[in-house]
């Protein structure tokens, strides 16, 4: 064998070994560690935590240290929280690649939950935007707990007066995702045709209402049992995915927001106008590359076709929370709530979310 082939083979073997080692390291799941000991003087609160990766069985309701607000933070007494698929991605550390950020072997941060609504219980010395007693909603890791601290310039806003804490807690991740997918990635304009695939879920129920408020013609795709609900929140047309494949209807949309990833990008191309936009919000589950396949294909396909294909990653934003607050205050968006669980029942709430058939949002109410 020529020397250059030997070198190439050696490099390939080393690369293979490196990928295998990285795969083994990031997929390793360590045993659950006991809760760290706290001094007798520590002020405590109840919180749902996850000290290792795994199924909802790893979740535990613990007494942990109650946080104190820094100078630029507010302390919120949580009244309600809501569940997102993100919570079980964190809990399982899946897809494994996310463990590069959340912790190899076990989560570096045991706290769970993001979306919250509650009452400001204390403010740091530099806080000017909020005061004790304000009713607020927002997003911050550790929301499945009695208290959470949030920087005043981060994802926290005043709760609209006409919304309950449960309704407000439903909003942050799902509402912001829907808003940013339609407005920023989808560049939705009044009169355009938009199709929402996964219209009955957390993100979908916000997307239908927000798209309608933008003056778009909205088509929602959901299963038979959710057709009436999706129509009732403002969809002009509904498609039952159990009987009809929207990519074969012959109708072209200016924008498709996809929460499901159950049709190929080429099939979706048929359902787009020649300069239409396809926004990937969610897709198939999987520990390895299954969830990344459509975003990778979109990157490859987009430069060669007139349509735009791309994945979006929602960013928590105070401004967008305020926009959603205004839409709720004006009656243009009303969160759809499926079920409510207590803090001690978060494992059941997440099990239900993992089934993938939530009807709007799943709420956690703190007693």
Least distance from C-beta 290 to ligand NAP, angstroms?
Answer: 12
Residues 256, 224, 198: CA angle, nearest 5 degrees:
25
Q: Candidates 54-62, 90-98, 111-119, 308-316 — which segment interacts with ligand NAP by CB under 6 A? A: 308-316
Separation CA 28–CA 11 (nearest Å): 26
Which residues 263-282 are close enough to bind ligand NAP by CB under 6 A? 281-282
Nearer to ligand NAP, 74 or 328 (CB): 328
One of 56, 67, 186, 204 touching ligand NAP (CB under 6 A): 204
Which residues 218-247 are close enough to bind ligand NAP by CB under 6 A? 221-223, 226, 241
Handedness of CA 305, 178, 262, 313 (dihedral sign): positive
How many residues touch ligand NAP under the rule CB under 6 A: the total is 29
Least distance from C-beta 8 to ligand NAP, angstroms?
Answer: 38
Least distance from C-beta 115 to ligand NAP, angstroms?
Answer: 10
Least distance from C-beta 173 to ligand NAP, angstroms?
Answer: 5
Nearer to ligand NAP, 130 or 352 (CB): 352
- Provide CB contacts within 8 A for 93, sequence distance 6+: 29, 53, 99, 102, 103, 107
Least distance from C-beta 362 to ligand NAP, angstroms?
Answer: 7
How many other C-beta atoms can be found within 10 angstroms of the C-beta atom of residue 361?
29
Separation CA 315–CA 195 (nearest Å): 22
CA distances in angstroms from 155 to 40, 69, 318, listed in the order given: 33, 15, 4
Least distance from C-beta 320 to ligand NAP, angstroms?
Answer: 12
Separation CA 229–CA 277 (nearest Å): 26
Burial 32-66 (b: 16+ CB within 10 A, else e): beeeeeeeeeeeebbbbbbbbbbebebbbbeebeb
Least distance from C-beta 64 to ligand NAP, angstroms?
Answer: 27
Nearer to ligand NAP, 138 or 198 (CB): 198
How many other C-beta atoms can be found within 10 angstroms of the C-beta atom of residue 145?
26
Which residues 46-85 are close enough to bind ligand NAP by CB under 6 A? 84-85
Beta partners for residue 177, in sequence order? none
Under the binding rule (CB under 6 A), the answer on residue 202 touching ligand NAP is yes
Residues forming contacts to ligand NAP in the complex (CB under 6 A) are: 84-85, 173-174, 177, 197-198, 200-204, 221-223, 226, 241, 259-260, 262, 281-282, 312-314, 353, 356-358
């Amino acid at each position: 064998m020529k020397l250059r082939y030997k070198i190439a083979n050696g490099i390939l073997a080393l690369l293979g070994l490196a990928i295998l080692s990285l795969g083994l390291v990031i997929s390793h799941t360590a045993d659950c560690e006991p809760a760290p000991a706290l001094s007798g003087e520590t002020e405590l609160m109840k919180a749902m935590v996850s000290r290792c990766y795994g199924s909802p069985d790893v979740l535990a309701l613990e007494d942990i240290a109650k946080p104190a607000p820094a100078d630029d933070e507010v302390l919120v007494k949580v009244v309600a929280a809501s569940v997102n698929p993100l919570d079980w991605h964190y809990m399982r550390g899946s897809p494994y690649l996310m463990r590069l950020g959340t912790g190899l072997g076990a989560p570096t941060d045991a706290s769970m939950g993001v979306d919250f609504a509650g009452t400001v219980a204390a403010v740091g010395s530099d806080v000017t935007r909020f005061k004790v007693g304000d009713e607020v909603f927002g997003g911050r890791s550790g929301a499945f707990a009695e208290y959470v601290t949030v920087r005043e310039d981060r994802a926290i806003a005043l709760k609209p007066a006409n919304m309950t804490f449960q309704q407000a807690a439903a909003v942050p991740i799902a509402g912001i995702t829907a808003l940013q997918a339609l407005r920023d990635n989808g560049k939705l304009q009044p009169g355009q045709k938009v199709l929402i695939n996964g219209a009955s879920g957390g993100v979908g129920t916000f997307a239908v209402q927000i798209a309608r408020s933008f003056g778009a013609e909205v088509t929602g795709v959901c299963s038979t049992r959710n057709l009436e609900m999706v129509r009732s929140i403002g969809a002009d047309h509904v498609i039952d995915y159990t009987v009809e494949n929207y990519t074969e209807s012959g109708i072209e949309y200016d924008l498709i927001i996809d929460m499901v990833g159950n049709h190929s990008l080429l099939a979706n191309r048929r359902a787009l106008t020649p300069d239409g936009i396809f926004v990937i919000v969610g897709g198939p589950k999987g520990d390895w590359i299954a969830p990344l396949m459509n975003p990778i294909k979109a990157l490859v396909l987009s430069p060669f076709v007139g349509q735009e294909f791309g994945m979006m990653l929602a960013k928590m934003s105070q401004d967008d929370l305020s926009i959603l607050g205004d839409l709720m205050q004006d009656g243009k968006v009303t969160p759809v709530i499926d079920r409510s669980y207590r803090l001690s029942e978060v494992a059941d709430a997440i099990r239900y979310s993992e089934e993938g058939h939530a009807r709007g949002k799943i709420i956690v109410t703190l007693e």
